[in-house]
Amino acid sequence: MLYADDLALTCETMEGLLVKLKTWRKALESRGLRVNVTKTKVMISGCNVGKPPEKGKFPCSVCGKGVGSNSIFCGTCKHWVHKKCSGITGRLKDDKRFMCKRCKKMAMADDSDIEKVYLDGEAIEVVEKFCYLGDTIGAQGGAGAGVMARVRRGWSKFRELLPLLTSRALPLLTKGRVYQACVRSVMMYGNGADGRGLSRSISLSEEMSDSDSDKDGGCGRTRSD
């Protein structure tokens, strides 16, 4: 029995994509295979091209950086917005009708915000980023989404190993080896094989992560290490 996995279809228009999806699905089902519509996603390249990468638990819908107490909630995109990004002068007040600059710009655009497309009555989700063959691809293009995803994975692994990396029972050399093997390797996994030129972006983000991790956990590593 033939088995197909991780397939991708590309097209210039949504109508053309749906035609390809139907043809692809019909061809697979004629050979006894089944398309998992739940796992199938649609990504529109160039969507939100100017949108900055999100940072923090509550990212600002305009600049993407984490917000604090001096912020206002956008009822359209359901994101918090910095006062400096809101365009509001004076004191901030709760306003359910408030719409951030990005939502206002999208509301004036000709293209509507597509959340789902339908194939023979079945809904397929439209996403802004997607994990494909172990790497994260973003609708904005470039390597930004992939780099951010790798750095997040590295931080997750670092926090998981924090008790070990901060233990006084282990020598600094051992901590450094654990960091190299279990934290840095997570961020660099597959970097040499994907052919997308991520090395420079990964190195810059990694340098920042190394500096922050020294402050956060004190794993005993320096830049020379």
pLDDT (tens digit, 9 = 90+) per residue, 83-125?
888 888 888 888 888 888 777 765 444 344 577 788 888 888 8
Distance CA 78, CA 61 (A): 9
Q: Give a yes or no: residue 76 inside a domain.
A: yes
Task: Kindly state the average pLDDT of the residues 47-64.
Answer: 67
Does pLDDT of 213 surpass 60?
no
**121 in the same domain as 24:** yes
Please give the tally of structural domains in the chain: 3
CATH code for the domain of 105: 3.30.40
**120 in the same domain as 11:** yes
Give backbone dihedrals phi and psi of 200, rounded to 5 degrees, phi first: -65, -45
**163 in the same domain as 123:** no
**119 in the same domain as 24:** yes
> Could you tell me which residues are beta bridge partners of residue 82?
71
Q: Give a yes or no: residue 224 inside a domain.
A: no
pLDDT digits (tens, 9 = 90+) for 151-192: 888 889 999 999 999 999 999 999 999 998 988 888 877 665
Q: Give a yes or no: residue 63 inside a domain.
A: yes
**155 in the same domain as 189:** yes
Backbone angle region of 187, left / alpha / beta, with phi > 0 → left and psi within -120 to 50 → alpha: alpha
56, 80 Cβ separation under 8 angstroms: no
DSSP code at position 59: B
What residue type is 16 in one-letter code? G
Q: Give a yes or no: residue 133 inside a domain.
A: no
Distance CA 125, CA 167 (A): 45
- Catalogue the E-assigned strands of the chain: 41-43, 71-73, 80-82, 116-119, 122-127, 129-132, 135-138
Distance CA 36, CA 25 (A): 10
**167 in the same domain as 152:** yes
pTM confidence score: 0.47
Paired tokens of 26? 């019909």
| Per-residue pLDDT, 204 | 47
Q: Give a yes or no: residue 222 inside a domain.
A: no
Q: Give a yes or no: residue 136 inside a domain.
A: no
> Could you tell me which residues are beta bridge partners of residue 66?
59
Q: Give a yes or no: residue 138 inside a domain.
A: no
**59 in the same domain as 40:** no
Paired tokens of 27? 């061809």
**56 in the same domain as 93:** yes
Parent domain of 173: 143-217
Q: Give a yes or no: residue 135 inside a domain.
A: no
**118 in the same domain as 7:** yes
